[in-house]
Structure 1
Amino acid sequence: MSASTNALLANPWRDLWNNDLSQTDRIIAPDFVAHAAPITGSGEDTVRGREGLNNWVAGIHTVLRGLTFEFTVGPIVTDDYLVVRWSAEGTYAGGFPGGSESAVGNRVRFTGTDTLRIQDGMLAEYWVNADTLQLVQQLGVCELV
């Protein structure tokens, strides 16, 4: 696919992460693979398939109510890749491993970069680099010394 066609996947990708799971069947390849440990602490280093991605997105929205993602850079696209820099903000609802009960109800903000490989017009592979230290500090898991 062309870079300009691939750029059309960016907004539905953002919408999916903003909890519009109806985007999944439209833009995610059936054999999708994400290379990241889900922020909800499952311990896995990959997420597989459309259902796995939907479970991951739903899980983070359970922990962070009203979570919204916005692009701050991009999309940057080629014939094979889509890259976006994002910021996210939501209200901590509890349930993050090691999260402080006193953090429940606090607004949190964190950032990251998504790199996605495109195959046959769908998102097939995903690498995320999120500033989880920034997030866990706001949840009271650790403090900056």
Structure 2
Amino acid sequence: MNTLIQHWLDLRNGDYAAAEACVSPDIRVHAALLDGGDSSAVGGPAGVVAWIAQTRAAFSELTFAIEVGPIVDGDMVALRWRASGAYAGGFPGAAAKPGTANEFTGTDTLRVAGGLIADYWINPDIHVLLAQLRVLA
């Protein structure tokens, strides 16, 4: 399990080749997408890579670190992470200037099947990030 979680962390940190080692071709992503899109359309390793790359494009030097966990219960894994980086621009509604430092937290809940992540729930503390980016309502 530790190797799988390390691959997941590597993927979140921009090592897109790690997707093949940790993401099921049948993964289901359960997330509120910022563009209002349907997260069930994010499928397979390539879809997860594209989604993560889109997020990473808005933040230079984005780094994820695990703060709590992984906590394993059967086929379920939970972990709390902290992300830090600098705003690169392009986030919808953001008034922050590029280069603005960001730090926010969240949790990932993963269901593992066949040694790969088959379901992914993300719960970022988005209100913290939106405040840092000065996103206006």
Instruction: Please state which band the TM-score falls in when normalised by the shorter chain.
Output: over 0.9
Equivalent in the alignment of 1:115? 109
Kindly state the Cα deviation for residue 12 of structure 1 after the two structures are TM-superposed.
1.1
Q: Tell me the CA shift for residue 10 of structure 1.
A: 1.2
Give the partner amino acid of 1:95.
Answer: G
1:95 aligns with 2:90: yes
Where does 1:1-145 land on structure 2 (aligned, <5 Å)? 6-38=1-33, 41-46=34-39, 47-100=42-95, 102-142=96-136
After the TM superposition, list the runs of 4 or more consecutive aligned residues in structure 1 that deviate by more than 6 angstroms: none
Counterpart Cα distance in 2 of 1:71 and 1:14: 8
Matched-pair contact (CA < 8 Å) for 2:76–2:111: yes
CA positional deviation for 1:22: 0.6
| Partner SS state of residue 9, structure 1 | helix
Separation in 1, partners of 2:2, 2:109: 13
Cα distance in 1 for residues equivalent to 2:38 and 2:129:
19
8 Å CA contact 1:85, 1:112 repeated in 2: yes
- Total equivalences in the alignment: 135
Deviation for aligned residue 1:79: 2.4
CA offsets 1:55-110 (integer angstroms, 9 cap, x no match): 1111111101110000000011122011110000011011000011x431111000
Gaps of 5+ in 1: 1-5
Q: Take 1:43 and 1:56, find their aligned partners in 2: how far apart are those partners?
A: 13
Aligned equivalent of 1:3: none
